[in-house]
A and B are shown apart, each in its own frame.
Chain A
Amino acid sequence: MSLIEALPIALLGALLGLDVVSFPQAMISRPVVAATLAGAFIGHPPAGLLIGVVLEMIALDTLPFGASRYPEWGSAGVVGGALFGAQPHGMPGALPACLLAALLTASISGWSMVVLRRLIAIRLEQTRDRIEEGSRNALLSLHLSGMSMDLLRGGLVTITAMMIFAPLVRAIVAIWGSDSAPSRAVVVVIAAIVAGAALWKVFHSVRHVLWFFLAGLLVWVGLLVTR
């Protein structure tokens, strides 16, 4: 992938990276949305949706509570969707390799958010006196520069990840040694385990929650039987 080809993807990653915290937190940065949009950019939205759903299940494990540190799924979803959408259909290694690239991007991007927050704190320290005097310009400048840096952060993470992972994923897919069925099975098991455990972590204190889950499973069994 050339730099020019990666630029529109980087722009998408920048915009969706901004949504995670800065603006507007409408959750267009959730992997199911981000990866599908990136897949559509590449011309293959169903592929983007598929990896987006898998990432969404894994992302259930990391909800953005307060000042906690968490992976950043906006840019990661874009990288995963764009990489998977660009792979030839039916290649057994494509989904695991692209998923790994997306998870690594999420981890690095999460770290970049910590760096950004520290940079904003440094800038705040430099303008603290003016803000303590009630300077509108100092406050607006701090706020808008924070948002601009966040936009830049998302774009940089996305373009860097695309430049590194696009050739790497292509090479991995070309020499992939496992069959298609076990390759998919590993991804399905990983997604099921992380999503299941994450939901238990979040909802275990809710009264009667297990009964509701079992009722849902019964509905699924009913659907299986009637289909």
Chain B
Amino acid sequence: MTAPTSPGVDLPMRVKFAMYFRLLAMQGSWNYETLNGTGIGFTMEPALRYLPGGLDGPAYRAALARESRYFNAHPYLAGIAVGALVRAELDGVEPARIERFRTALAGPLGSVGDRLVWASWLPFCSLVAIGVYGAGGSPMGVVGTFLLLYNAGHILLRAWGLRIGLSRGLNVASALGNPVLRQGPQYIGCAAALVAGVALPLALQRVAGPGLGLVGGIIGAALIGILLLARLREHAEGWRIALGVLAIFVLYSVLT
């Protein structure tokens, strides 16, 4: 299907769309051996058909094999690597240099993405949704707010990553200095703390129901529990403790 392309030639829009769509499924073969390496190969595959020799040509097969090896990146920022590696392969960069680039890029893409998305944007959006619930929001309102807000960031971040990777190629490292990636977690963290202060008590009030309210005992027990659990930090998983306490309470309520 493909004609060989010369260095610097831009890919058709439909190929970029195909790569973007595959980015959404990039972790489909995530495993403990190659992490998301095979996913990187899977995502790049439509663009590699534009290598000299086309689909199944020697250049295509060598590049596909190379790009399907071990790689680790945050899935939302993997587009940066995918775009940059596609550009490098199409520009005929030597394989050894591509290997070095893959090794160098993997760590930062994982840690920056984890800080920005999993440790900032996701909890922030969760807290906003919890706040909408606490303010009396309907099921549609809460779910709609969460999905629209979260995915506005998600979809834009993936698109930005792929675009910046394709345009900068192996010079993409400077993109990781983008203010959103560097300062974003700090600002989002502050916003999340502000939202948490309002949203959690409001939502807990609504869960407790009109007959109960947030009485002193509940607040006291919650504060003591938070302090204890926060002190334990890495040594205890809160959800496991919740599971244990809940199991004991259910057992008690059934047996009495």
A23-B25, A107-B243 as given contacts; A199 in contact with B147, CB under 8 Å: no
> In the docked arrangement, what's the CA distance between A94 and B169, Å?
56
Q: Specify which chain A residues have a CB less than 8 angstroms from the CB of B247 in the assembled complex.
A: 100
Contact B68 A131 (CB under 8 A): yes
Cα(A215)–Cα(B190), bound, Å: 11
Bound CA–CA A25/B26 (angstroms):
10
Are A199 and B123 in contact (CB-based, < 8 A)?
Answer: yes
> Is B119 in contact with A202, judged by CB distance below 8 angstroms?
yes
Q: How many residues of B contact A (CB 8 A)?
A: 101
Q: Which residues from 107 to 121 on chain A have a C-beta closer than 8 Å to any C-beta of chain B?
A: 107, 117-118, 120-121
**B193 and A213 contacting across the interface, CB-CB below 8 Å:** yes
B127-180 interface with A by 8 A CB criterion: 127, 129-130, 133, 139-140, 142-143, 146-147, 150-151, 154
Interface string of A203-225 (1 = CB under 8 A from B): 11011111011111111100100
Report the contact-size class of chain A (Cβ under 8 Å from the partner).
35 or more
B122 within 8 A of A: yes
Bound CA–CA A193/B197 (angstroms): 14
Q: Is the CB of A184 within 8 A of B32?
A: no
Residues of chain B having any CB pair with chain A under 8 Å: 24-25, 27-35, 38-39, 41-42, 45, 55-56, 60-65, 68, 72, 74-76, 110, 114, 118-119, 122-123, 125-127, 129-130, 133, 139-140, 142-143, 146-147, 150-151, 154, 185-186, 189-204, 206-209, 211-212, 214-215, 217-218, 221-222, 225-226, 229-230, 233, 237-239, 241-243, 245-247, 249-250, 252-256
7 of the cross-chain contacts (CB-CB < 8 Å) are A23-B25, A36-B142, A53-B133, A120-B29, A177-B255, A188-B222, A204-B230
A residues contacting B by CB (< 8 A) are 21-28, 30, 32-33, 36-37, 39-40, 45-46, 48-50, 53-54, 56-67, 71, 93, 96-97, 99-100, 103-104, 106-107, 117-118, 120-121, 124-125, 131-136, 139-140, 142-144, 146-147, 150, 172, 175-178, 180-181, 183-204, 206-210, 212-220, 223
